[in-house]
Amino acid sequence: QQERQYLLYTFSTYTPSAYPTLKQKTKLKFPTTDIPDVIGGGSPDRQGSTFTYGPYNEVVPAGASEEASVRYEFTKPLIYATHLERDIEVSHWGGNLAIEERYWLTNQGAQLKENFNRVQWAATQYYNPPTSALRELKVPLKAGSMNPYFTDDIGNVSTSRFRPGSGSKNKEAMLELKPRYPVFGGWKYSFRIGWDADLKSFLRKLGNTPDGGHVLKVPFLEGPKMGEGVSYAKVEVRVILPEGARNVRFETEVPLVGVEEGTHRTFMDTVGRTTLKLTAMNVVDEARDKTLIVTYDYPFSAAFRKPISIFLGVAAVFATAWGIGRLDVSIGKQS
């Protein structure tokens, strides 16, 4: 529980190339100088935490490889999300962009040799030693984000803190999350977070379009931003557009494996809201810098579909109540 964690990195000392190489060298820089084992690859030139293999002056044939392994200390969690579901809901009437993300996380670090000791873990909170357990997640949000929440399978998690940003200075907000328990190697933790944002910061209306064209520009991925990085096995991004949106198109730099278009029904909807579902596999958190651009048409008449449905629903309730009130359910004979 308090021991150091070591990782084994296996690589080729030759640079992958489809052509013969006349001269090359490989340089590796590790996050620590605690490197107990170096296997294969000859004798590298070591300077602190930097290893240099080569230079190789002989001709290296195309596709050549020479395997080497290095075991080094890395006492941080290896955060891996087996599944991420990200919903982006657009509301024209409320002028709001609601975002919710559902995570299934696991720590791929070294597992505990013995049972977890709660007393020992509580004692370490006073001097904060390095640990391979996941203790907190920091989620930077766009400026102007508000109304965050953090829940898991049990319910609301109160061990979180939200630092709102400054919209005038374009300073991003920060959502700091502490899981309900420390996530050691091999442990899992599932939770969901969500927040609201001002729609006008992400949506733009196209001029001179008879069908009411709109352009939505949002990050493809947000979520935790950690120094050790976060990787994702499967990411599903679902964009929920207003009811009546049509002619949906999108553009993103993230490689996709699936694209679906469907409907999502919620309160007071008639035919349902148009949804765009994008699926990506093996995503790293560098995708935070990638954007998702969605264009769609939203006619002026579609904006009144919900108010009309609400009015008709209320009118139907009053008409039904009036009709029931006019019924004669008495048993006796009328005089």
Q: Tell me: the pLDDT tens digits for 263-299?
A: 888 776 677 888 999 999 999 988 888 999 999 988 7
Query: Exposed e or buried b for every residue in 177-210, given b needs 16+ CB within 10 A?
Result: bbbeebbbbebebebbbbbbbbbeebbeeeeeee
**Cα distance between residue 331 and residue 329, in whole Å:** 7
Residue 169 has pLDDT above 70, yes or no: no
Note the pLDDT of residue 332: 63
**Cα distance between residue 51 and residue 43, in whole Å:** 10
Query: Model's pTM, two decimal places?
Result: 0.83
Note the pLDDT of residue 102: 95
pLDDT tens by residue, 213-247 = 889 999 999 989 888 889 999 999 999 998 888 88
Note the pLDDT of residue 325: 84
For β-strands 230-240 and 79-91, DSSP reports them as parallel
DSSP secondary structure, 101-163, as one string: EEEEEEE-SPBPSS---HHHHHHTTTT----SSB--EEEEE-TT-EEEEEEESSSB---EEEE
What is the SS3 assignment for 252? strand
Note the pLDDT of residue 217: 94
Question: Percent of the chain at pLDDT above 90?
Answer: 37
Question: Percent of the chain at pLDDT above 70?
Answer: 94
* Span 254-259, average pLDDT: 93
**Cα distance between residue 247 and residue 297, in whole Å:** 6
**Cα distance between residue 57 and residue 237, in whole Å:** 49
Residue 166 has pLDDT above 90, yes or no: no
Q: Residues 59, 17: contact at Cβ < 8 Å?
A: no
In this structure, how many other beta carbons lie within 10 angstroms of the beta carbon of residue 291?
14
pLDDT tens by residue, 78-118 = 999 999 999 999 988 888 999 999 999 999 988 988 888 88
**Cα distance between residue 196 and residue 178, in whole Å:** 21
**Cα distance between residue 233 and residue 102, in whole Å:** 14
